[in-house]
Structure 1
Amino acid sequence: MAEGSGTRRHRALLSVVELGGYPNFESLYRQYGFEPLVVNSVRKAQSTLRREQPAVVVAEFNVDPNFRDRTGNLESLLAGIQHLPDTRVIVFYEREHLPHLERLRQRFPIAEALPYPVQAAALEAALQRLTGKRS
């Protein structure tokens, strides 16, 4: 239903969970008015981006030394998101990969970056900054 018609419109949040190892944050996403769409690969995320224009994408930054021309799959995803100027990106990362992430941030807009172990309170604070509201 369209916004302004009396029913609150759900905004999509695309969660890309390739490796996981952190809590399921779907209920937190819903608290902020998002309808979570969960995929388990960047390839599936890219396919989803062709059909949806999520308000937020939450993705893992997994450095892969086997890639010669980029640091990992996140780079491909961020390139696709560039065509969605209203989509904000939250990245989960390993602290030792921060230098690689900072290089990515010079090329792509990343709204928030949260180190592992990802704490619900840190993610909630990031969602508050992105949405301008409290749960």
Structure 2
Amino acid sequence: MSSQPLLLMVNAFIGTAGYRSLYQQLGYQVATEWSERKAISLLRKTPPAVIVADFYHQTDFRDRLSNLESLLAAAQGSPNTRILVFYEAAHQAVLDKVGARLRIDAALTLPVQEEQLRATLQSWLGTPPAPGPAREAGP
């Protein structure tokens, strides 16, 4: 078993994968899932220290506002898992609605500033999440 904290990348469109080497440099063991269903399965079997996921909104979603609501709902049962989402500034209002219902620990607007990403992930190493739905927002 690895002593490195597990970071789960959930790639939908934006490409969180572009930061894999940064995640590894910081000491995270990286797992990648391209499907939300498979990410939820991994989350339930082996709760990661961090989930990094792409957030998007489409007007044709019938029963939800975003691509991540099922994953975020599943992650609520893992209070020691930090949740970081990357999002387009145009989706800020939708992200705020989702964040009011489901815990998101940090959100970074695209294009993601690597130093801000590094600082966020470094601050989480060895530090448990604070309780509640509070969220840090990117500029």
TM-score interval, smaller chain: 0.7 to 0.9
Return the letter of the residue paired with 1:88. Answer: R
How has the CA–CA distance of structure 1 residues 23 and 67 changed in structure 2, closer, same or farther, with 3 Å as cutoff? closer
Which of 15, 24, 47 lines up with 2:9 in the alignment? 15
Query: What SS does structure 2 have at the residue aligned with 1:73?
Result: coil
Superposed CA RMSD in Å reads 1.9
Partner of 1:24: 18
Task: Give 1:23 deviation, angstroms.
Answer: 6.0
Aligned pairs for 1:1-135 (under 5 A) are 1=1, 9-21=3-15, 24-131=18-125
Return the letter of the residue paired with 2:88. Answer: E
Partner of 1:5: none
Task: Give 1:119 deviation, angstroms.
Answer: 2.2
% of aligned pairs identical? Answer: 44
- Give the total of aligned pairs: 127
Return the letter of the residue paired with 2:39. Answer: A
**Structure 1 stretch 32-41 or stretch 86-95: which is displaced more?**
32-41
Spell out structure 1 runs of 4+ moving beyond 4 A: none
How has the CA–CA distance of structure 1 residues 106 and 96 changed in structure 2, closer, same or farther, with 3 Å as cutoff? same
Maintained 8 Å contact 1:95/1:116: yes
Normalising by structure 1, report the TM-score.
0.85
Cα displacement string for residues 24-48 of structure 1 (whole angstroms, at most 9, x for unaligned residues) = 2112112222101011121221121
Normalising by structure 2, report the TM-score.
0.83
